[in-house]
Structure 1
Amino acid sequence: MGFLDDLKRQAEAAKAERNTDNAAAERNALLTEAACKTVFGYFDTLIRQLDVLEPVSKTRYALDRRTVFEQLPMVELKVDARRRKLRGTDAYDYIALHGRLRDGRKIAFAKDFVAEIEKIDAKLRQAGAPVHAQALRNPDNNKLQEMRYEVLVDFSFGVTVTPDHDHARLHFKVMNFDGFETITLDLPALEVGSARLDELAKWMLGEPHRFFDGARNLRRVEA
């Protein structure tokens, strides 16, 4: 076999491999788009039912040991989605469901230790609540004596689903379903159907659920 014949053989092998990779990527993209369409349709139907039912969350939310909230009404439920171009065609960029946990109260409290102040500040950032914080300082040395907080009981929660079309999986970023924390995980697109999304809806409402079953890269970040 001559040198040119060897180059032809290598080129044909590379072309065959590239065609195989492209076909696999296209199949994965179709599976992922189908899962995204299911997610969007489920979220849209879910919030329509919840708007009528006006549910309260069964989850217990704690800023600290003494400042605890339960039976919070779930309001302002919305679904958002964005699309983008993927290899020349329209595809989902993300799908999000978000809302507020609100009961109309305003609470006031103070913290006088730096560690407690740092911890409560992180919780309040995670909660997404409207906050007015005022530092009380010693007039002689300007040393911080305490932080005084006024907080509306108006917390954010939600889930954002981001597709990975090339690998046929969906990334879930879930905020404040299990208290003030963020949980991320990945699921194969083939496993994201109505049954799996039922478990997500149970979790959102504070019901026992099995949404984590078979999840990959599960990570929990508490405030």
Structure 2
Amino acid sequence: MGFLDDLKRQADAAKALQNTDTGFLDRQAALTNTACQTASGYFATLAQQLNVLCPPSRVSYRLDRRQAFDGLRLRDFRADARRKKLRGHEAFDHVALRWRLSSGAPVSFVKNFLPDIEQLESRLRRSGARFSSEAVRNPATAKLQEMRYELVADFEASVWVTPDHDAGRMRFELVNLDGFETVTLDFASFEIGSGRLDELARWIVGEPNTFVQGGQQLRRIEA
């Protein structure tokens, strides 16, 4: 066997391996796309039902020790899904569900301690609330005396699902389901079906649930 024949043999072996790898990745992608389609349809139907019911939240949303909001109405649910190209085929880029936690109540308060100001503003940014702030300074020294805040106690919450097609996994980012925090965790794509999504829906409306059981790389980040 000549050198060229040896190179051809190596190239054929490499090509066969590449074809095997591509076939495996395509199967992973198909499984993940199916899970995304299931989640997208579930979110669309869930949004329709909850926009009729507008259930009250069972969670207390706390901006600080004094400012807490109970019984916020869950409303304005919007389901969304976007697609992209993956190896020449259409695939899901993400699936999302967003909604408002609404009271409509105007709120105003004052902070004059820097750590409290920093923590409050972090939570306000995470909450999705529209707010205005005004710095009050000593006219003689320009030193900050206090911060005044005004807002309407309407907040944002969401579920954002990002697929990893090649790995056959899906990352869930859950924002403000249990107070002002972000929870992230991963599931294998084959685990995402109506049963798992029912548990997520129970979590959204504040009922006992087992959604995170079996998830991996669970993280909770408080605002």
TM over 0.5: yes
Partner AA of 2:168 in structure 1? A
Question: Which residue is equivalent to 2:92?
Answer: 92
Matched, 1:157 2:150: no
Q: Distance in 2 between matches of 1:9 and 1:216?
A: 42
Give the SS at the match of 2:186. Answer: strand
In the TM superposition, residue 216 of structure 1 has moved relative to its aligned partner by: 1.4
Identity across the alignment (%):
53
| Structure 1: tracts of 5 or more residues without a match | none
1:72 and 2:72 correspond: yes
CA distance in 1, matches of 2:104, 2:121: 21
What residue in structure 1 maps to residue 175 of structure 2?
175
Aligned 1:100-139 pairs, distance under 5 A: 100-139=100-139
| Total equivalences in the alignment | 223
TM-superposed deviation, 1:62: 0.5
Amino acid at match of 1:109: F
How far the C-alpha of 1:168 sits from its partner, in A, is 1.0
Rounded to whole Å, the distance in 1 between the matches of 2:121 and 2:7 is 64
Structure 1 residue aligned with 2:53: 53
2:103 is paired with a residue whose SS is strand
- 1:193 aligns to what? 193
Post-superposition offset of 1:205: 1.4
Equivalents in 2 of 1:207, 1:60: separation in Å?
Answer: 14
- Distance across 2 between alignment mates of 1:217 and 1:5: 48
Give the partner amino acid of 2:95.
I
Matched letter for residue 128 of structure 2: G
Partner in structure 2 of residue 202 of structure 1: 202
- AA aligned opposite 2:94: Y
Equivalent residue of 1:167, what SS?
coil
Q: How far off is 1:55 after superposition?
A: 0.7
Moved beyond 6 Å, runs of 4+: none
Q: What residue in structure 2 maps to residue 9 of structure 1?
A: 9
What is the alpha-carbon distance in structure 2 between the residues aligned to residue 158 and residue 59 of structure 1? 15
Distance 1:88 1:23 in 2: 14
Please give the per-residue CA displacement for 1:69-115, whole angstroms capped at 9, x wherever unaligned.
11100111101111111112211111110011111101111111000
How far did 1:37 drift?
0.5
What residue number does 1:144 align with?
144
TM-score, scaled to structure 2: 0.97
SS in 1 for 2:166: helix
Once the two structures are TM-superposed, the CA of residue 2 in structure 1 deviates from its matched residue by 3.3
CA–CA separation in structure 2 for the residues paired with 1:102 and 1:82: 27
User: Is 1:59–1:205's contact at 8 Å kept on the other side of the alignment?
Assistant: no
Q: AA paired with 1:67?
A: Q
The aligned counterpart of 1:22 is 22
In structure 1, what is the Cα distance between the partners aligned to 2:7 and 2:85? 35
Read off the aligned partner of 1:157 and give its amino acid letter: A
Question: 1:6 deviation in Å?
Answer: 2.2
**1:48 positional shift:** 1.1
Which whole-Å CA distance do the structure 2 matches of 1:155 and 1:201 have between them? 19
Q: Give the SS at the match of 1:13.
A: helix
Q: Shift of the alpha carbon at 1:199? A: 0.9
Where does the alignment leave 5 or more consecutive residues of structure 2 unmatched?
A: none
Task: Determine the C-alpha separation between the residues in 2 that align with 1:193 and 1:207.
Answer: 19
- Tell me whether 210-219 or 15-24 shows the greater mean CA deviation: 210-219
**Residue type of the alignment partner of 1:84:** K
Q: Post-superposition shift, 1:9? A: 2.2
